[in-house]
């Protein structure tokens, strides 16, 4: 059942558009991390944007927009993954630019192997660890990661430490 949209003023629509444009990389990073094909990534990015639009009237302007945006975007992505579990799983880069870098430096065989290993690690992570890694690579603080994912700062620190060790082990 679809909830009714709260009508927004022209100023609110303009504010939403500006905030979405300023933080649009968040949408694409999450779509790249949680969707397996270009079409699925485009669909997920569109669904995230639509959900952000629907939720914008409830956004508390006293809080960080990017934290609010991450929370909604990750919830949409995780729900979509949960709904599409019957699909085949393919390796997905954290960001399209990783493939651009790999293409530019194809002579660097060791670098390509490291990128492939990173792709494999990311694709093998569960939803929570993938979100943790994404936020960590975005240089978010443990406090902010905790706010976005609904975890304590201590829990974030512990999970990140374990995740880093797992990645180190995979690179050996």
Residue-wise pLDDT for 101-152, tens only, equals 444 444 455 666 777 777 778 778 888 888 888 888 888 899 988 888 888 9
How many whole angstroms separate alpha carbon 88 and alpha carbon 17? 35
Please give the pLDDT value at position 37.
84
How many whole angstroms separate alpha carbon 45 and alpha carbon 117? 26
Please give the pLDDT value at position 91.
42
Note whether residue 16 is domain-resident: yes
Q: What is the extent of the structural domain holding 55?
A: 8-88
Note whether residue 24 is domain-resident: yes
> Does the pLDDT of residue 160 top 80, yes or no?
yes
Q: Which residue has the higher pLDDT, 138 or 159?
A: 159
Which of 97-101's residues contact partners 24+ apart within 8 Å by CB, and which partners?
Answer: none
Note whether residue 42 is domain-resident: yes
Q: Which residue has the tokens 């993954």?
A: 81
Model confidence, pTM: 0.59
How many whole angstroms separate alpha carbon 168 and alpha carbon 172? 7
Note whether residue 58 is domain-resident: yes
- In the predicted model, what is the mean pLDDT of the chain? 78
Both tokens of residue 147? Answer: 């706010």
Contact indicator for 31, 134 with CB cutoff of 8 Å: no
Helix axes 142-149, 153-170, angle to 10 degrees: 100
| Torsion sign over Cα 118, 124, 129, 132 | positive
Note whether residue 96 is domain-resident: no
Per-residue pLDDT tens for 1-12?
Answer: 344 444 567 787
- CA 130 and chain centroid, separation: 8
What's the number of domains the chain is made of?
1
Q: At 110, phi and psi to the nearest 5? A: -65, -40
> What CATH number did the domain enclosing 51 receive?
1.10.1740.10
How many whole angstroms separate alpha carbon 22 and alpha carbon 5? 23
Percent of all residues in the chain with a pLDDT value above 70, rounded to a whole number: 77
Mean pLDDT, residues 53-73: 90
Please give the pLDDT value at position 51.
94
Please give the pLDDT value at position 157.
93
Please give the pLDDT value at position 152.
92
Out of 25-39, 47-61, 82-96, which region has the weakest mean confidence (pLDDT)? 82-96
Note whether residue 129 is domain-resident: no
Q: Among residues 137, 141, 111, 156, which one has the least CA distance to residue 32? A: 137
């Amino acid at each position: 059942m679809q909830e009714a949209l709260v009508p927004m003023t022209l100023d609110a629509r303009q504010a939403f558009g500006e905030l979405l444009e300023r933080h649009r990389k968040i949408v694409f990073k999450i779509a790249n991390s949680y969707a397996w094909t270009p079409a699925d990534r485009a669909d997920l990015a569109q669904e995230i944007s639509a959900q952000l639009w629907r939720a914008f009237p409830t956004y508390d302007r006293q809080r960080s927009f990017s934290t609010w945006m991450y929370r909604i975007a990750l919830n949409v992505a995780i729900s979509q993954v949960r709904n599409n579990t019957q699909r085949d799983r393919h390796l997905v880069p954290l960001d399209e630019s990783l493939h651009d870098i790999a293409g530019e430096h194809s002579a660097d065989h060791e670098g390509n192997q490291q990128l492939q290993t990173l792709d494999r690690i990311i694709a093998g992570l569960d939803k929570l660890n993938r979100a943790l890694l994404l936020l960590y690579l975005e240089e978010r603080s443990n406090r902010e990661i905790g706010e976005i994912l609904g975890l304590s700062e201590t829990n974030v620190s512990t999970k990140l430490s374990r995740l880093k060790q797992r990645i180190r082990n995979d690179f050996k």
